[in-house]
């Protein structure tokens, strides 16, 4: 080999090394937190698609928390420590305003551009509102959500029962089916009784169905009679054997697992459960029906508004790249992908009638009215305290530590101290 050729090869190798080093230096590493209950396996595929379009970005997925509270506890710790290792986080719909007020997230207005209103008007109104604080877009929707009633379609068909429209009809149907099936592992109804955020919705579902509000214009509008009836309705499910005795220990994903195992006739849960029920490991695959939640006698059906939002940490060292990723994750294309592949409700109204979406998840065609009419949990800066009062009271009544009447008295007294 000649000297000139040797020098040429050495120079070429050096150039390749410099180019590779420059590419590595330009690579942005983003760490994203996704709750473990919301199909992180499918979100991973969405991240892979983003990486394919943006080869200089590497997305690492972090998962955790089976409840809103567990996720919040973890994220609160990370944010309080001003940890820069986490760039993007998924937040319960009740939290974007709280995180923005704490200075933990950054607004999207600059990256969105001039017409912020037009950008946010693409989403379902409830989510545009939940993510906008004082004109600043503090988060972008990941997916919409509401509570539904899941039921064993095979068992209702077998026993000639129509899906219930009232809680009384559900009680009668659950008793008839469980008594006829004679399966000691089969529960009539599973719902969230543990002292978690889901128990707030448990209380509010029949309370709202009676036409009552808890907070109006930031002021307490508590109806004690309706509160007693709501607490009694859930406790009666336990006392009558429709729900299991330790329902006070049941969290959101416990309900999902119990129904998925084939051990429940009716289940109150969020939309994420549908995708799990249709998995190959599910005992109820192709046996599940879903309808609006029942109403109280003489009342109107009411659902609890849910949904999850993407926030960018104010402590991230890659805020702009993180915001670009979130815009992709909150786009109509990703919303459609997650609806088809993970059965997560779209935040874009037009996707509910999209042919590909309704083909993959037929019940989404009937889900839009439920999501649009679902009621938001009390809107107040002191929501954390309101939530704690409601969920601990619900849990105490279901555990038999107090009567529905005592629980309503305690709830009213404590709420008065928080919402004067």
pLDDT in tens, 351-365: 999 999 999 999 898
Q: d(Cα 386, Cα 414) in Å, to the nearest integer? A: 9
From 10-14, 166-170, 248-252, 335-339, the region with the lowest mean pLDDT? 10-14
Q: Which residues pair with 33 in a beta bridge?
A: 62, 89
**Across residues 84-109, what is the average pLDDT?**
94
Instruction: Kindly tell me if the per-residue pLDDT of 9 is higher than 50.
Output: no
User: What is the pLDDT at residue 219?
Assistant: 85
How many beta carbons lie within 10 A of that of residue 358, not counting itself?
18
Instruction: Kindly tell me if the per-residue pLDDT of 115 is higher than 50.
Output: yes
**In the CATH scheme, what is the code of domain 27-138+306-373?**
3.40.190.10
From 65-74, 174-183, 194-203, 287-296, the region with the lowest mean pLDDT? 65-74
At 37, is the pLDDT very low, low, confident or very high (cuts 50, 70, 90)? Answer: confident
Tokens of residue 69, six digits: 């509270």
The number of angstroms, rounded, from the C-alpha of 145 to the middle of its chain's C-alpha atoms is 6
286-311: pLDDT as tens digits: 999 999 999 999 999 999 999 999 99
Tokens of residue 185, six digits: 């592992």
Rounded percentage of the chain residues whose pLDDT exceeds 90: 80
Residue predicted with more confidence, 366 or 209: 209
Q: What is the pTM of this model?
A: 0.82
Q: d(Cα 249, Cα 254) in Å, to the nearest integer? A: 9
Domain 147-304+379-418 is found in CATH 3.40.190.10: yes
Question: Would you kindly state where each structural domain of the chain is located, as residue ranges?
Answer: 27-138+306-373, 147-304+379-418
Q: d(Cα 285, Cα 262) in Å, to the nearest integer? A: 10
Q: In terms of C-beta density within 10 A (0-12 exposed, 13-18 middle, 19 or more buried), how is residue 134 classed? A: exposed
Q: d(Cα 210, Cα 229) in Å, to the nearest integer? A: 9
User: What is the pLDDT at residue 3?
Assistant: 43
User: What is the pLDDT at residue 92?
Assistant: 93
- Residue 212 contacts by C-beta under 8 Å, 6 or more apart in sequence? 221, 223, 226
Half-sphere exposure of 274 (CA within 13 A, CB side): 25
- Are 134 and 338 a contacting pair, CB within 8 Å? no
Tokens of residue 125, six digits: 């109104």
- Are 238 and 411 a contacting pair, CB within 8 Å? no
CA angle 202, 208, 209 (to 5 degrees): 100
Buried b (16+ CB within 10 A) or exposed e, 297-332: eebebbbbbbbbbbbbbbbbebbebbbbbbbbbbee
- Write the CA distances from 154 to 90, 149, 160, 207, 355, integer angstroms: 35, 15, 10, 31, 27
Instruction: Kindly tell me if the per-residue pLDDT of 14 is higher than 80.
Output: no
264 in helix, strand or coil? strand
At 13, is the pLDDT very low, low, confident or very high (cuts 50, 70, 90)? Answer: low
The values of phi and psi at residue 121, to 5°, are: -65, -10
- Residue 9 contacts by C-beta under 8 Å, 6 or more apart in sequence? none
- Write the CA distances from 240 to 188, 198, 372, integer angstroms: 10, 22, 34
How many beta carbons lie within 10 A of that of residue 380, not counting itself?
17
User: What is the pLDDT at residue 25?
Assistant: 53
Instruction: Kindly tell me if the per-residue pLDDT of 22 is higher than 70.
Output: no
Using left for φ > 0, alpha for ψ between -120 and 50, and beta otherwise, residue 16 falls in alpha
Instruction: Kindly tell me if the per-residue pLDDT of 217 is higher than 80.
Output: no
Instruction: Kindly tell me if the per-residue pLDDT of 4 is higher than 60.
Output: no
DSSP percent split of the chain into helix, strand, coil, nearest 5? 50, 15, 30
Q: d(Cα 111, Cα 330) in Å, to the nearest integer? A: 14
Please indicate whether the domains covering 27-138+306-373 and 147-304+379-418 agree at the CATH topology level. yes
Tokens of residue 230, six digits: 């709501």
Q: For tokens 């990370």, name the residue.
A: 78
Instruction: Kindly tell me if the per-residue pLDDT of 5 is higher than 90.
Output: no
Q: d(Cα 178, Cα 191) in Å, to the nearest integer? A: 17
Q: Which residues pair with 306 in a beta bridge?
A: 145
């Amino acid at each position: 080999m000649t000297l000139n050729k040797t020098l040429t090869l050495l120079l070429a190798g050096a150039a390749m090394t410099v180019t590779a080093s420059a590419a590595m230096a330009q690579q942005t590493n983003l760490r994203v937190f996704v709750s473990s209950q919301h199909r992180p396996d499918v979100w991973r595929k969405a991240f892979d698609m983003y990486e394919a379009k943006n080869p200089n970005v590497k997305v690492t997925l972090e998962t955790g928390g089976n409840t809103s509270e567990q996720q919040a506890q973890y994220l609160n710790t990370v944010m309080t420590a001003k940890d820069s290792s986490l760039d993007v986080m998924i937040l319960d719909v009740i939290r974007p305003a709280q995180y923005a007020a704490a200075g933990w997230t950054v607004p999207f207005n600059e990256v969105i551009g001039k017409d912020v209103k037009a950008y946010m008007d693409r989403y379902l109104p409830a989510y545009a509102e939940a993510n906008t604080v004082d004109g600043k877009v503090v988060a972008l929707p990941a997916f919409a959500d509401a509570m539904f009633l899941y039921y064993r379609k095979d068992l209702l068909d077998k026993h000639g029962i129509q899906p219930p429209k009232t809680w009384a009809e559900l009680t009668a149907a659950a008793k008839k089916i469980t008594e006829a099936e004679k399966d000691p592992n089969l529960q009539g109804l599973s719902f969230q009784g543990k002292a978690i955020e889901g128990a707030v919705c448990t209380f509010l579902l029949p309370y709202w169905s009676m036409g009552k509000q808890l907070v109006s214009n930031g002021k307490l509008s508590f109806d004690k009679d309706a509160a007693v009836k709501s607490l009694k309705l859930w406790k009666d499910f336990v006392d009558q054997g429709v729900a299991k005795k330790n329902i006070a220990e049941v969290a959101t994903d416990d309900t999902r697992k119990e129904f998925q195992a084939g051990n429940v006739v009716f289940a109150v849960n969020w939309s994420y459960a549908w995708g799990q029920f249709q998995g190959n490991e599910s005992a109820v695959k192709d046996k599940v029906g879903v309808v609006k939640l029942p109403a109280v006698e003489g009342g109107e059906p009411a659902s609890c508004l849910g949904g999850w939002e993407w926030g960018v940490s104010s402590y991230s060292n890659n805020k702009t790249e993180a915001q670009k990723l979130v815009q992709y994750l909150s786009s109509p294309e990703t919303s459609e992908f997650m609806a088809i592949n993970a059965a997560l409700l779209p935040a874009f109204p037009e996707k509910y009638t999209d042919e590909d979406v309704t083909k993959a998840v037929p019940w989404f065609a009937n889900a839009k009215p439920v999501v649009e009419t679902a009621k938001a949990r009390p809107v107040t800066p002191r929501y954390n305290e309101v939530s704690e009062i409601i969920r601990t009271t619900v849990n105490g009544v279901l555990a038999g530590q107090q009567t529905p009447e005592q629980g309503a008295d305690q709830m009213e007294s404590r709420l008065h101290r928080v919402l004067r």
